[in-house]
Amino acid sequence: MNPPDGEERRASLAATGYADINRAADYLFRSGGKRIRPLLLILSARLCNYRGPHEHPVLLASAVEYIHAAALLHDDVLDDAAVRRGHDTARLLWGNKASILVGDYLYTRAVDQVIRLGNEQIDTVLAEACRRMVEGEMLQFSHRRDLAITEDVYMSIIDGKTATLIATTCALGAILTGPSNEHRDALTRFGRYLGLAFQIADDALDYAAAPAKLGKNLGADLCEGKITLPLLHLLASCSGRERDLVEQTVERSGAAAGDFQSIAQLMERYGSVAYALAQSREFASSAVKELAVFPPSSHRDALEVVADYVVARDH
Ligand code: FPP
Ligand code: MG
């Protein structure tokens, strides 16, 4: 890896001494993303009437997005993913090794930013969230292509890999502000329900989105052997012969396009995507109920809009 020249270093968001890292990190950040986590952190802090130094929530918001970006870089290696945010994945362009290193770099950069705030409670909750993310991924990894998994195991997987960081992000708004445990706990539950709604909607979109809008390959979960809620619903609803087809498809590594169509048609017949989306809506509405402990405000309204968006989005 060659250090970047001055111009490249100034233009880079990651701005490390290594051109390859800068290029891959910039590529990921500039390719978009919904930036839901930073938004949630800032809104949560405002909802709690944060009055401290302006840069603290901003530093935390960017640290949380760094952690998320690091996790996605590693996730795309684990999933052999080719497309992210409508573009080739970093691993496809620069290889798995560079993707892992860039993820490691972004993660350590986040740690560095967080510990500078000198708030032990923040360090603790974020360290715990990162550990639970990895545990969620490990649980998912240990159950790949496992058609015997229960809805409870699926919920533990998505709670760990997705909902925990979102819950912690929302809690950070309260932790930054002060000692109200009631507000912190309500925001933690809001974020957790929102995270569950988000991941279930993601898993439904994987079978039913318009490919041009999704920004990822449709059917990737089936290909990767991930047993998600729409598939669990289908398995519980279909006939014995149809179950054989589902089993054969899941057991084959890298299901073909035709296989995906057959499974998507079965899901349409049994309402499996609709079931998952209904569950996602339930969690989003549980999330919104948690906001009742806060007086009405534009920040509370904005968090409700995020909850609506999470279930209504098409990508
Ligand atoms: C996306 O799931 C993956 C995650 C939300 C979490 C990934 C976490 C790790 C790889 C652990 C590493 C953790 C740290 C702290 C660096 P998905 O594959 O279902 O979604 P996708 O379709 O967007 O890829
Ligand atoms: Mg993935």
Q: What is the pLDDT of residues 48-88, one digit of tens each?
A: 999 999 999 999 999 999 999 999 999 999 999 998 888 89
The reply to whether ligand 1 has any atom less than 6 angstroms from the CB of 283 is no
Hey, what are 59's tokens? 């530093």
Q: Is the pLDDT of residue 10 over 70?
A: no
Q: Is the pLDDT of residue 264 over 70?
A: yes
State the maximum Cα–Cα separation within the chain, in Å, rounded to a whole number: 64
Check residue 103 and give its pLDDT: 94
Interval between CA 224 and ligand 2 midpoint (Å) = 9
Interval between CA 136 and ligand 1 midpoint (Å) = 9
Interval between CA 125 and ligand 2 midpoint (Å) = 24
The reply to whether ligand 1 has any atom less than 6 angstroms from the CB of 67 is yes
Q: Is the pLDDT of residue 6 over 70?
A: no
Task: Band the pLDDT of 17: cuts 50, 70, 90.
Answer: confident
> DSSP letters of 217-244?
-TTHHHHHT---HHHHHHHHHS-HHHHH
Report which of 214, 226, 187, 208 is spatially closest to residue 274, judged by C-alpha positions: 208
The reply to whether ligand 1 has any atom less than 6 angstroms from the CB of 68 is no
> Residues lining ligand 2 (ion), CB within 5 A?
75, 79
Minimum mean pLDDT range among 81-95, 143-157, 164-178:
81-95
Q: Is the pLDDT of residue 246 over 50?
A: yes
Q: What is the pLDDT of residues 120-155, one digit of tens each?
A: 999 999 999 999 999 999 999 999 999 999 999 999
Ligand nearest to the CA of 162: 1
Sign of the torsion formed by the C-alpha atoms of 95, 101, 107 and 110: negative
Closest C-alpha residue for ligand 1 atom 11: 134
Interval between CA 202 and ligand 1 midpoint (Å) = 12
Residue of 74, 75, 138, 207 with the most ligand 1 atoms within 8 Å of its CB, for mutation? 75
Task: Band the pLDDT of 40: cuts 50, 70, 90.
Answer: very high
Check residue 22 and give its pLDDT: 80
Degrees to nearest 5, angle at CA 142 with 138 and 144: 115
The reply to whether ligand 1 has any atom less than 6 angstroms from the CB of 165 is no
Ligand nearest to the CA of 137: 1
Check residue 2 and give its pLDDT: 40
Q: How far apart are CA 296 and CA 65, in angstroms?
A: 28
Check residue 203 and give its pLDDT: 96
Q: Is the pLDDT of residue 11 over 60?
A: no
Check residue 205 and give its pLDDT: 93
Task: Tell me what the pLDDT averaged over the chain comes to.
Answer: 89
The reply to whether ligand 1 has any atom less than 6 angstroms from the CB of 107 is yes
- Please tell me which residue, 207 or 213, carries the higher pLDDT value: 207
Interval between CA 75 and ligand 1 midpoint (Å) = 5
The mean pLDDT of 297-303, rounded to a whole number, is 98
Residue of 37, 66, 72 with the most ligand 1 atoms within 8 Å of its CB, for mutation? 72
Residue of 107, 134, 161, 280 with the most ligand 1 atoms within 8 Å of its CB, for mutation? 161
Q: How far apart are CA 146 and CA 75, in angstroms?
A: 19
Task: Band the pLDDT of 219: cuts 50, 70, 90.
Answer: confident
The reply to whether ligand 1 has any atom less than 6 angstroms from the CB of 161 is yes
Closest C-alpha residue for ligand 1 atom 13: 71
The mean pLDDT of 213-240, rounded to a whole number, is 88
Q: How far apart are CA 305 and CA 221, in angstroms?
A: 28
Q: Is the entire prediction scored with pTM above 0.85?
A: yes
- Please tell me which residue, 218 or 107, carries the higher pLDDT value: 107
Check residue 313 and give its pLDDT: 74
Q: Which atom of ligand 1 is nearest to the CA of 206?
A: 22
Q: What is the pLDDT of residues 100-112, one digit of tens each?
A: 999 999 999 999 9
Report which of 38, 28, 21, 114 is spatially closest to residue 73, judged by C-alpha positions: 28
Q: How far apart are CA 306 and CA 227, in angstroms?
A: 27
Check residue 34 and give its pLDDT: 84
Hey, what are 8's tokens? 């490249």
Task: Band the pLDDT of 314: cuts 50, 70, 90.
Answer: low
